[in-house]
Amino acid sequence: MSNIYEGQNRGLLKSVSANPSNPKWDQMIYREAPLYVRTTDIRSPFQRDLTRIIYSNAYKRLKSKTQVFFSPSNDHVCTRIEHVNHVESISYTIANELGLNVELTKAISLAHDLGHAPFGHKGERILNEISLRDVGTTFWHEKNGLTCVDNIDLLDDAYGFKQNLDLTYAVRDGIISHCGEIDQSRIKPRDEAISLENDYDTVAKYEPYTWEGCVVKISDKISYIGRDIEDAIRFNILSKDELEELKDLLDVSQEDLGVLNNTNIINDLIGEALKYVTIEDGFRFSENGLKILDGIKAYNYKHIYGSDKLKQSHEYFELIINKIYGLLKSLYNENTGKIEFKDQVRLYPEVVTDFLDWLKEYSIQDYFVEDKSSLSKLKNKKLFDLDNPKDFYLSAILYISGMTDNCAIETFNKIISF
């Protein structure tokens, strides 16, 4: 890949970065609800977002969620939390070199995959099938990530009340706009602010609102295509002939397969992103660079994501998620419009109780809550009107989406065991 970058674009995008002189600044730092302020707080808006993200439960759970390879026995195989750290590292390199706001890229990077379901993209597809059938809406992790930070994850404030995260518009936009799966020849920020909750109804419908969001979107793709190859080599997923195909794709002449590592792939693609960016046209890759980038992605889908080894676990994931959802769905009696759990709590006490304890924090009604004093510390938005069965089914979908792989497996085992 001919991508030699010699620093010629250093600071190029400083004038359009997320800073107070940018005409978009007020919209970038807008929050739906103001955060409490301490007199000793010296953090910027995006620093406050960052700390709220890393203290959130959704972020903590990323360490136990599948990236590509389920339940690896090797501790050095990539999980979801390692992936977001890779994206943060790559986005920092690009943003710092171009003069963009690295606090914003860090916050978006670490939050961009908070909406992922257990079992990676397969779990996402299973929940999408359920959601289309029972709720009539699609489930996709970018939109679910926005739902997570807007409505689901709660933090204790200075007085012990549970509050929503209330992140800035720029970070929220970066989360829902980050999809790196869509093939594009160039990426440039959109000019208009939109309603992220209402207008953003399909994956990758809009480009990010900020240059920093564009950097994270590029970094997401750069991160996963190389790292997944590295893990596939470690697990012997790729045959000798397939490795030779990859060498030809990357124009690697050396015999040492060590050159097929994440370091070289990332370095080349970062160089491409830095070399060809302009304020007028945005980020783009050279014709050869885009050919290689798309070629690697197609290679990964064919030989890694579509491999028989990875497919072996998919029926297991379907069984687990559908069994959990089926039990939770059975708690709702559409004839009475009420949650009725007497029999289920007798047979599946932990599973039912854990779900209802979670649901009470987000539902408008509280008729199923025995101890009303447990609601006194809740200051968050209420999501679910339980007079509407679709709201209840949606609550079960969102509850499952927050589970780690191990939590889903343990929940399934509690359902089927005695």
Do 134 and 330 form a contact (C-beta atoms < 8 A)? no
In this structure, are 348 and 301 located in the same domain? Answer: no
Q: Classify residue 366: in a domain, yes or no.
A: yes
Looking at residue 259, which CATH number applies to its domain? 1.10.3210.10
In a domain, 131, yes or no: no
The answer to whether residue 263 is domain-embedded is: yes
Q: How far apart are the first and last CA of the chain?
A: 58
Q: Which of 176, 170, 270 is nearest to 210 (CA)?
A: 170
Residues linked to residue 208 through DSSP beta bridges, in sequence order? none
249 found inside a domain? yes
CB 283 within 8 A of CB 276: yes
| Structural domains counted in the chain | 2
> What range defines the domain where residue 394 resides?
314-416
The pLDDT of residue 59 is 98
285 and 331 in one domain?
no
Domain end, chosen from 309, 324, 345, is at 309
Residues 180 and 295 in one domain: yes
Locus of tokens 């399909």: 202
Question: Does residue 408 lie in a domain region?
Answer: yes
What CA–CA distance (Å, rounded) separates 94 from 108? 14
The answer on 334 and 374 residing in a single domain is yes
Please report the sign of the dihedral spanned by the C-alpha atoms of residue 63, residue 65, residue 69, residue 71. positive
Residue 148 maps to a domain: no
pLDDT at 254: 47
- Report helix, strand or coil for 275: helix
The continuous run of DSSP H or E covering 225 comes out as: helix 211-234
Residues 214 and 270 reside in one and the same domain: yes
Handedness of CA 55, 61, 63, 67 (dihedral sign): negative
Q: How far apart are CA 270 and CA 292, in angstroms?
A: 13
Any residues with CB less than 8 A from the CB of 411 and at least 6 apart, and which? Answer: 320, 324, 351, 354, 403
Query: Nearest-CA neighbor of 328 among 344, 343, 314?
Result: 344
Q: Which residues pair with 154 in a beta bridge?
A: 164
Structural domain ending residue among the three candidates 309, 340, 360: 309
Query: How remote is the C-alpha of 112 from its chain's centroid?
Result: 4
Q: Which of 73, 72, 136, 70 is nearest to 315 (CA)?
A: 70
Residue 318 and residue 294 share a domain = no
Question: What is the DSSP code (8-state) at residue 317?
Answer: H
Domain membership flag for residue 122: no
Instruction: Using the 3D structure, point to which of 260, 293, 309 is the last residue of a domain.
Output: 309
What is the predicted pLDDT for the residue at 182?
A: 57
- Contact present, 122 and 317 (Cβ < 8 Å): yes
Q: Does the predicted TM-score (pTM) go above 0.85?
A: yes
Q: What is residue 253's predicted lDDT score, i.e. its pLDDT?
A: 46
Query: Taking Cα atoms as reference points, which of 152, 210, 150, 141 lies closest to residue 176?
Result: 141
Q: Scan for tokens 């590509």, then name that residue.
A: 68
Residue-level pLDDT at 198:
95
Phi, then psi, of 187 in degrees rounded to 5:
-135, 130
Cα 29 versus chain centre, distance = 21
Domain check: are 75 and 166 in the same one? yes
Residue 7 host element (H or E): none
Domain annotation covers residue 336: yes
Phi first, then psi, for residue 332 (nearest 5°) are -105, 125
Strand partners of residue 155? 163
Please give the pLDDT value at position 251. 67
Strand partners, 283: 187
Helix (H) or strand (E) holding 284: strand 283-284
Largest Cα–Cα separation, the chain: 70
Q: Do both 272 and 394 map to the same domain?
A: no
232 and 375 part of one domain: no
If asked whether residues 211 and 271 sit together in one domain, one would say yes
Residue 316 burial (C-beta neighbours within 10 Å; 0-12, 13-18, 19+): middle
Q: Do residues 411 and 322 both lie within one domain?
A: yes
Per-residue pLDDT of the chain (418 residues; tens, 9 = 90+): 555 799 999 999 999 999 999 999 999 999 999 887 777 788 999 999 999 999 999 999 999 999 999 887 788 889 999 999 999 999 999 999 999 999 999 999 999 999 999 999 999 999 999 999 999 999 999 999 999 999 999 999 988 999 999 999 999 999 999 996 656 778 999 999 999 999 999 999 999 999 999 999 999 999 988 889 989 988 999 999 998 888 888 765 444 445 556 787 888 889 999 999 999 999 998 888 888 888 889 999 999 999 999 999 999 999 999 999 999 999 999 999 999 998 999 999 999 999 999 999 999 999 999 899 989 999 999 999 999 999 999 999 999 999 999 999 999 999 999 9
Among 186, 185, 190, 197, residue whose Cα is nearest residue 213? 190
Q: Residues 296, 348: one domain?
A: no
pLDDT confidence of residue 208? 97
